[in-house]
């Protein structure tokens, strides 16, 4: 069976307060995005890696690859207006029997989690990694009111989200909907149940300066 990962990296980094998009910011001596690609290559050297980038950033990525002597095999595909459209473009290039979709700014997903997702998708059709909620949470009921809810009924969703290729392609033929916040929501709207597996808490999505500090600590 052939595996594909579509790595979506279209963030602008506005919450970082930087001019450089967050996926290109350096941690541990090289851009975040390079760490992310390396995780999947280490897991399976034969995995097909498709990197989805805005057309305006592809030249910069090429120059970074030259600067850092980054020659890990991957294919660059042009992103779309939204994440939904970017994944759609990535699917046109994907050839694997099972396809993972991963956030470009999640460089700390463990090989164990990747393996768990690909193992489970052999039996289930759609698999996502999740972690428990440790903090108390409240539901907003009005502009000034909220109510406590049982945190044991909720999970925090991570990537990679892994699917049987034919299912994912069919699901992404649906019209775009603002409620599609990730790939699982697209597949679920298509009528397929989602299987959860245990994620790893270090698998943070780097979006803020504080996340960069955490990343430095994880690498150190």
The CATH number given to whatever domain includes residue 175 is 3.90.550.10
Rounded Cα gap, residues 220 and 215, in angstroms: 8
How many Cα atoms are found within 13 Å in the side-chain-facing hemisphere of 186?
23
Residue 2 buriedness (CB in 10 A; 0-12 / 13-18 / 19+)? middle
Which two three-digit tokens encode residue 82? 């939204």
Give the per-residue pLDDT at 143.
85
Tell me: pLDDT of 19 over 90.
no
Q: What is the pLDDT of residues 37-62, one digit of tens each?
A: 999 999 999 999 999 999 999 999 99
Torsion sign (Cα): 174, 180, 182, 187: negative
Instruction: Tell me which residue of 98, 109, 119 sits closest to 163, measured CA to CA.
Output: 98
- Per-residue pLDDT, 1: 86
Closest CA to 105 of 7, 209, 199: 7
Q: How many domains does the chain have?
A: 1
The per-residue pLDDT for range 181-197, each reduced to its tens digit, is 999 999 999 999 999 99
Residue 18 reports pLDDT greater than 80: no
Q: At what angle do helices 32-43 and 111-120 cross, to 10 degrees?
A: 50
pLDDT at 171 over 60: yes
Structure confidence at residue 16 as a pLDDT band (50, 70, 90): low
| Domain encompassing residue 28 | 3-219
pLDDT at 13: 52
Q: Whole-number mean pLDDT of the chain? A: 95
Under a CB-based contact definition with an 8 Å cutoff, are residues 87 and 8 in contact? yes
Once rounded to an integer, what is the mean pLDDT over residues 126-134?
98
Model pLDDT for residues 159-168, shown as the tens digit of each residue: 999 999 999 9
pLDDT band at 10 (very low <50, low <70, confident <90, very high): confident
């Amino acid at each position: 069976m052939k595996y594909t990962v579509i790595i979506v990296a279209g963030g602008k980094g506005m919450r970082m307060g930087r001019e450089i998009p967050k996926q290109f910011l350096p941690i541990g001596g090289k851009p975040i995005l390079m760490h992310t690609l390396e995780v999947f290559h280490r897991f399976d050297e034969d995995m097909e890696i498709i990197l989805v980038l805005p057309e305006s950033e592809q030249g910069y990525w090429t120059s970074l690859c030259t600067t850092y002597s980054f020659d890990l095999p991957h294919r660059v595909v042009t992103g779309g207006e939204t994440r939904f459209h970017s994944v759609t473009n990535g699917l046109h290039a994907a050839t694997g029997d099972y396809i993972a979709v991963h956030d470009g700014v999640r460089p700390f997903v463990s090989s164990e989690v990747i393996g768990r997702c690909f193992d489970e998708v052999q039996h289930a059709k759609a698999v996502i990694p999740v972690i428990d909620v440790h903090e108390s949470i409240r539901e907003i009921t009005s502009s000034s009111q909220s109510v406590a809810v049982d945190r044991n009924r909720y999970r925090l969703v991570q990537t990679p989200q892994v699917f049987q290729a034919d299912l994912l392609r069919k699901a992404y033929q649906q019209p775009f909907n603002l409620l599609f916040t990730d790939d699982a929501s697209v597949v679920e709207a298509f009528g397929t149940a989602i299987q959860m597996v245990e994620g790893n808490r270090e698998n943070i999505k780097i979006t803020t300066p504080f996340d960069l500090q955490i990343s430095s600590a994880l690498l150190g």
